[in-house]
Amino acid sequence: MKLLRYGEPGAEKPGMLDAGGRIRDLSGVIGDIDGKAIAPASLQKLAALDPASLPLVDGEPRLGPCVAGVGKFVCIGLNYADHAAESKLDLPKEPVVFLKANSAICGPNDTVLIPRDSEKTDWEVELGVIIGTGGKYISEEDALSHVAGYCVINDVSERAFQIERGGTWDKGKGADTFGPVGPWLVTADEVADPQALKLWLDVDGKRYQDGTTANMVFGVAHLISYLSRFMSLAPGDIISTGTPAGVGMGQKPPIYLRAGQVMELGIEGLGTQRQKLADDR
């Protein structure tokens, strides 16, 4: 299934994509696409529905983040060998963990705002993992059974804030609109192998990132197990799993985003995003 949320910010409704790529309204069945709705028993009930029996949504409404009520937005840094190399950093011996502010979460096609005083706003296409079954001290062998689904994430980053302003990553990662999520939550049964997905990102039509999740240093199952040693994971939590080479910081010379530019990105089988850049005034 492909589950989504559509409508104006703060007033999104739950929906499902049918076989023809049309949005079907789920608001008569569930209140929202949130931790409760993506628990295993709920997903099983949703999977039993005939999409044709649900009301068809007219037009092309705005898409919101594909999951609501996110408790934690956990991110992994330097998780592709080629990205670590372009960042001139050694491969991590353990996953590099940071938290992205939940207030950064926005829809997949919403405008991304370049913060005031920004010098180095950058892009990062990433595979998002959405937890459906919570837990702690999860074994790696059991980890994927805790996944409700997967999505596309753009881990937008301000490199000067991240690296040159005291050395803590979070303030370069958490600006408003720095976390586009979606367009949809693709349930885990539709993703045969999360370590075999192509992902890409273009800026103004030029391809900068062109990678595969096969090149992760730490795979999805390991990340879930690892994180659960340090924090409990809950339904609706998002794990953003790192980015391949090709970020702006890694170009020679570095290239950073400007107002008026357009980012387009996607992951095989999980959909695409498109964001225009604007200054945050």
pLDDT at 225: 98
Helices assigned H by DSSP within 116-219: 159-163
Q: What structural domains and CATH numbers belong to the chain?
A: 2-53 (no CATH), 73-279 (3.90.850.10)
pTM across the whole model: 0.97
* Cα 274 to Cα 125: distance, rounded to the nearest angstrom: 12
**Token pair listed for 5:** 């949320």
DSSP 203-246: ETTEEEEEEEGGGBSS-HHHHHHHHTTTS-B-TT-EEE----S-
The residue behind tokens 């010098």 is 119
The residue behind tokens 């039993």 is 48
DSSP state of 173: T
> Dihedral angle at the C-alpha atoms of 179, 140, 186, 4, nearest 10 degrees?
-50
pLDDT in tens, 57-81: 999 999 999 999 999 999 999 999 8
pLDDT at 281: 81
Contact indicator for 235, 35 with CB cutoff of 8 Å: yes
pLDDT in tens, 159-181: 999 999 887 888 999 999 999 99
pLDDT at 27: 97
Per-residue pLDDT averaged across 238-258, rounded?
97
Q: What average pLDDT does the structure give for the chain?
A: 96
Q: Which residues contact 11 (CB under 8 A, 6 or more apart)?
A: none
pLDDT in tens, 22-57: 999 999 999 999 999 999 999 999 999 999 999 999
* Cα 77 to Cα 74: distance, rounded to the nearest angstrom: 10
Nearest to 222 by CA among 103, 116, 97: 97
- Strand-pair category, 96-99 with 112-114: unpaired
* Cα 63 to Cα 8: distance, rounded to the nearest angstrom: 8
| First vs last C-alpha separation in the chain | 39
Contact indicator for 5, 17 with CB cutoff of 8 Å: no
Nearest to 57 by CA among 105, 86, 20: 20
Contact indicator for 116, 280 with CB cutoff of 8 Å: yes
